[in-house]
Amino acid sequence: MSKRIYILLLTLTVLFSACEFKLKPNEEEGVSSTLQVQRYDRLESRYLTTGDFSALQQMNTAYPMQTRTLIEDMLELGEVNDPEINAKFLNFYQDTTLQTVIADVQTQYADMDDINKQLDEAFKTLKTWIPDLQEPLIYSQIGALNQSIVVGDNLIGISLDKYLGSEYPIYKKFDYSPTQLQSMKRSFIVPDCLCFYLLSLYPLKNFDMRPQEEKDLHMGKVMWTVNQVLGEQILKTDFTKRVDAYMKKHPNVTVKALLENDDHTIF
């Protein structure tokens, strides 16, 4: 596998204070959106709740990269070629809390037509602003209440277990802040996908050596761009306001130029 970039949503939320895309309609979903989330989570759910070996086979053959990322990098259960890995994977999810989460994901996300439509429209808009933008393959999965969005190798993985609602009872068992909980709902899936995909394409160079304000401003540029794509102020910080003020004063600056600019003294 080539180098992957993994982005932990909640870590960045604190830090900054604050589907495969198919080229034709998915007949199973019965919607007309050009770009759709690939429902890897359904196969995962079948295997983890019933032990259906055919579902596991489909996960390994149709989604090898997604399965490797989930097992090796997110859950850290071991290597996918370990003879015991299937049993480890199955046993890990027999926890009562995770079994409840799996069931609730399948109920809340039985239909994702709204998300497919939003993603389709958002990436069409982004392509007009960034013509060389490579469209990612997007899929949904069920993690273990850790990472929300995983980005890498032209893939975006959405952990639906992290978007069950700010009032979801199981979340109350964990030490999530009110700010974090506000982002753990359906309406944040598309903004988060866009935000962290753009961050993977336009990372801040020498991140560890940069002052905090530059890190915040870089995140502000990405969040401002996402707001423009979606046509509403979903992601709001003092830094998005500074970027907005700059862009209003410089209407000839393109979104692509904004994201590529490494000079944060302009804001």
Name the phi and psi angles at 158, rounded to 5: -100, 115
Reported as a single tens digit per residue, the pLDDT across 182-208 is 999 999 999 999 999 999 999 999 999
User: pLDDT band at 34, cuts 50/70/90?
Assistant: confident
Cα Rg, the chain, nearest whole Å: 19
45's tokens = 């759910």
Mean pLDDT over each residue of the chain, to the nearest integer: 89
pLDDT reported for residue 24: 33
Query: 101 pLDDT exceeds 50?
Result: yes
Q: What is the arithmetic mean of pLDDT over 91-102? A: 97
Q: What is the share, in percent, of the chain residues with pLDDT greater than 70? A: 88
Q: What is the share, in percent, of the chain residues with pLDDT greater than 90? A: 85
Taking the C-alpha atoms of residue 108 and residue 106, their distance in angstroms, rounded to an integer, is 6
Of the listed ranges 5-14, 54-63, 133-142, 245-254, the one predicted with least confidence: 5-14
User: pLDDT band at 126, cuts 50/70/90?
Assistant: very high
168's tokens = 């979801």
User: pLDDT band at 243, cuts 50/70/90?
Assistant: very high
CB contact at 8 A, 67 and 59: yes
Reported as a single tens digit per residue, the pLDDT across 44-87 is 999 999 999 999 999 999 999 999 999 999 999 999 999 999 99
Question: Residue 249: how many CA atoms within 13 Å on its side-chain side?
Answer: 8
Residue 219 — left, alpha, or beta (φ > 0 → left; ψ -120 to 50 → alpha)?
Answer: alpha
Per-residue buried b or exposed e for 100-111, using 16+ beta carbons within 10 Å of the residue's own CB: ebbebbbeebee
What is the pTM assigned to this prediction? 0.87
pLDDT reported for residue 19: 34
CA distances from 105 to 16, 36, 60, 161 (A): 28, 18, 21, 6
Query: 231 pLDDT exceeds 80?
Result: yes
